[in-house]
Amino acid sequence: MSEIPVYRNYINGEFSSEPTSTIDVFNPANGSLLSKVPNSSAEEVDQAIHAARAAQASWSQRPAIERATFLKKIAVKVRQNAERLATVIVQEQGKTQELAAVEVNFTADYIDYMAEWARRIEGEVVTSDRQGENIFVFRKPLGVVAGILPWNFPFFLIARKMAPALITGNTIVVKPSEETPNNCFEFAKLVAETDLPSGVFNVVCGTGHEVGNALSTSPKIDMISFTGSVGTGSHIMAAAAPNITKLNLELGGKAPAIVLADANIDLAVEAIKNSRIINTGQVCNCAERVYVQASVADEFTSKLSKAMALTRYGDPMTQTDIDMGPLINKMGLDKVEKMVELAKQQGAEVVTGGKLADLAQGFHYQPTVLSGCNSKMEIMQKEIFGPVLPVQIVADLDEAIACANASEYGLTSSVYTESLSLAMNAISGLDYGETYINRENFEAMQGFHAGARKSGVGGADGKHGLYEYMRTHVAYIQS
């Protein structure tokens, strides 16, 4: 029998001694024990923050182009180890091998993309009201960033926080999700193989209650970059309040997909189905509820159900011919099951699926389509995070927009229409951070991923995401 690996925190360029208290990490497809990871204390968090703070001054004084060379070396390491890293992700998170490979390669590209900002970080010179005065707006790093991660795209999210933080002159302490920490430690091993200065990148693993809270309440953290649920985001906001710590919160979503009467129905079906089954429906920005115009509702719902019913699922480690793996854990599975049961009691009709999958092991739920839904149902309001699509019939675009906006979430939305003017009307009416027209919801690294309402504060990616990790300093110079 192979030995269970015990991972160690990565602090100040070194792996710490073997942890005294650990958390078990399991494979959601078969329940097997994969690893033991540190159940760290607040003192260990403090050590990591101290290391990051000690490293920050000299790191920020290096020219940005020099910082970029370190990032690019990490991207090379990620590509060289892509296959192994993808396997680690599949084992602990349960996504398909194909999707894990996409995640790893996208991560390397993302690190390179952020490194390439090195020569593009700009300040401003502003005209003054006073004669002989110049006003300069400088951009400076914030200091030490805490990156608190969820489990659904665990590897990519390390880079989404680390790369913009580091290129702009900050240092970082990363806390992976206790569900999926192994890939983060494997990433740290690759960082350790480069000559990145000690303390610039640190990993401390543990529970949200202990490690997440210690990071959120620390007066020595200058920014908390968090991705996760609305509930935890709200906790972090309160925990950070006494120190007025800068927050960047990427929270949940309940993405509406609007299918209008003139839509290319086959395209809409394919895109909405793909958007829901990717990562077994556990994606913040993917279609979570559908509003379809009455005249095409029957055709759309019947084609969507057929497509969803053809979705193949199973154990992603042993099967490559599948479209999705299990849900992350029993709690996730129970939540999906309860939400569908409640929707049925409230009058929704199961068109396909609607049950636990009949597999011997793993947290699998059948790909499901529910019709006859309405805005009062919980399933149209709360994040499902599973392979379930509730469908509601609407009279027109105005009703669809009104229903879509009547939500506590405001991350992404999508619209299917052949009319440019309807698409433009939808974009102007939808109160969302992103709208996708005639395509599945998946953001580009040069865009800006940010949510309205409870979906978050601030955002990630592109120029705007980069500048989230900087503050301004204005100098008024009278000559």
Catalytic residue set: 250
Q: Please, what is the minimum distance in Å from the beta carbon of residue 95 to ligand NAD?
A: 13
Binding site for ligand NAD (CB under 6 A): 148-152, 175, 177-178, 207-209, 212-213, 216, 227-229, 232, 235-236, 250-253, 284, 383, 411, 449, 451, 456
Q: Please, what is the minimum distance in Å from the beta carbon of residue 249 to ligand NAD?
A: 8
| CB closer to ligand NAD out of 103 and 112 | 103
| CB closer to ligand NAD out of 59 and 156 | 156
| CB closer to ligand NAD out of 350 and 389 | 389
Yes or no: say if 71 and 111 are a contact pair by the CB < 8 Å rule: yes
Please give the order of strands across the beta sheet that includes 456-457.
14-15, 10-11, 201-203, 171-175, 144-148, 223-227, 246-250, 456-457
Yes or no: say if 311 and 278 are a contact pair by the CB < 8 Å rule: no
Q: Please, what is the minimum distance in Å from the beta carbon of residue 42 to ligand NAD?
A: 12
Q: How far apart are CA 100 and CA 116, in angstroms?
A: 24
Yes or no: say if 111 and 206 are a contact pair by the CB < 8 Å rule: no
Q: How far apart are CA 442 and CA 275, in angstroms?
A: 8
Closest by alpha carbon to 416, among 257, 308, 299? 257
Q: Please, what is the minimum distance in Å from the beta carbon of residue 300 to ligand NAD?
A: 25
- By DSSP bridging, strand 412-416 and strand 256-259 are parallel
| CB closer to ligand NAD out of 235 and 273 | 235
Instruction: Write out the two tokens for 166.
Output: 């580091």
Q: Please, what is the minimum distance in Å from the beta carbon of residue 189 to ligand NAD?
A: 20
Q: How far apart are CA 28 and CA 328, in angstroms?
A: 6
Q: How far apart are CA 259 and CA 17, in angstroms?
A: 55
Judged by DSSP in three states, 430 sits in coil
HSE-CB of 49 using CA atoms within 13 angstroms: 22
| CB closer to ligand NAD out of 89 and 411 | 411
